Amino acid sequence: MKVLIVDSDPLFSRIAKSRMDKLGYALTLAPSGDVAWELYQHSPFRFVITEYDLPGLDGPELCRRIRNENHSRHTYVMFYAARNDSDIIVEAYHAGADDFLAKPFNLVLLDLRLSRGKQELNREDDLRIHSNHDDTTGFIKFNTFMRFFAVHDAGARRHSYQGIVTFATIENFDDILSNHGYGLAKQTKSVVASVLGSAIRSSDLVAHAGEDSRDFCTLMPDMPRENVGIVVRRIESQLRNAIIHTGKAILRPRLEYSTVIYPNAKLTAEQSLEPQNRVPFKLDSAA
């Protein structure tokens, strides 16, 4: 699990890192709230442990910003402070804290609190696994998509017909994430999802390939490969109007496409959708 520790004391940070490395956490250190916020925007952490009093952006404001990001997955925020008066504890919880510890740490108590926080996050993840829909896009998740696809693939084998699965990948997703942060990268996926949802046939089924993925896949029963170009042109036409304003720049998502024809006599349904079995598709390659 990725953990961000925010503390202006380098000695304390080294001690905490040594302890948490032994516990198996992937730890990142930030010397200030401003640095922590920059790191969080580009790589959302599931666990943040922050000092209350920080230079610049203080602990409560950092926590409020994290909560205002409105991520689909919860970030567990633990505060600590050398002061232990009720006012700062109340302020920490008002800012959105999940836990509060007094400094210096009792290491046994720290281990127990970390374990409790991890259990809460694991419970949330378990609920998401059993949920059928992706929070960001509104589409079904890939594991649910695979169950539908297995049924279609089996029917195609029995009745000797073909269909297509088309993959649309946000080609500039990593650049948007790196240069503009998680919030705008998430917004990009929502914009692409809206375009895909309006461009496909009502009989088609779209899925998002995972929360951290830039891939979408569409099940197109009874679709000849030469007709995929019609759908892609429709997507590209609508995508030209899909603009994301950053305040400083305008972002436009770019998609690249690949297809799988099913059924494949040599592969199982699951194997046929693996990346190495997808055929790149460009509009000028359409028959």
48 and 163 together in one domain: no
Same domain, 220 and 251: yes
pLDDT tens for 79-98 read: 988 877 788 888 988 888 88
Residues 247 and 219 in one domain: yes
271, 21, 67, 275: which is closest to 149 by C-alpha?
A: 271
Give which of 17, 80, 78, 69 is closest to 44, Cα–Cα: 69
pLDDT for 140 beyond 70: yes
Task: Tell me the whole-structure pTM to 2 decimals.
Answer: 0.64
Domain total of the chain = 2
285 is written with which tokens? 């390659």
At which residue do the structure tokens 């404001």 appear?
Answer: 61
Is the pLDDT at 3 greater than 80? The verdict is: yes
76, 101, 129 - which closes a domain = 129
What is the model's pLDDT at position 287? 44
- Facing residues of 261 across strands? 164
CA angle 76, 80, 86 (to 5 degrees): 105
Quote the tokens at residue 22.
């032994």
Q: What is the CA radius of gyration of the chain?
A: 23
Bigger pLDDT: 148 vs 44: 148
Residues 170 and 272 in one domain: yes
State the Cα angle at 154 between 152 and 159, rounded to 5°.
90
Q: Domain limits at 278?
A: 140-285
CATH number, domain containing residue 25: 3.40.50.2300
In a domain? residue 135: no
Which pLDDT score, from 0 to 100, does residue 127 have? 62
pLDDT of residue 168: 96
> Which whole number is the average pLDDT over 178-187?
88
Give me the phi and psi of 69, to 5 degrees please: -65, -25
Task: Point out the least confidently predicted range of 28-32, 201-205, 278-282.
Answer: 201-205
Any domain includes 109: yes
Summarised one tens digit per residue, pLDDT across range 30-79 is 999 999 999 998 887 899 999 999 988 999 999 999 988 766 678 899 99
Please, are residues 218 and 204 in contact by the beta-carbon 8 Å criterion?
A: yes
Q: Average model confidence (pLDDT) for the chain?
A: 87
Give the domain-ending residue among 129, 151, 176: 129
33 with 55, same domain: the answer is yes
- Identify whether residues 148 and 278 lie together within a single domain: yes
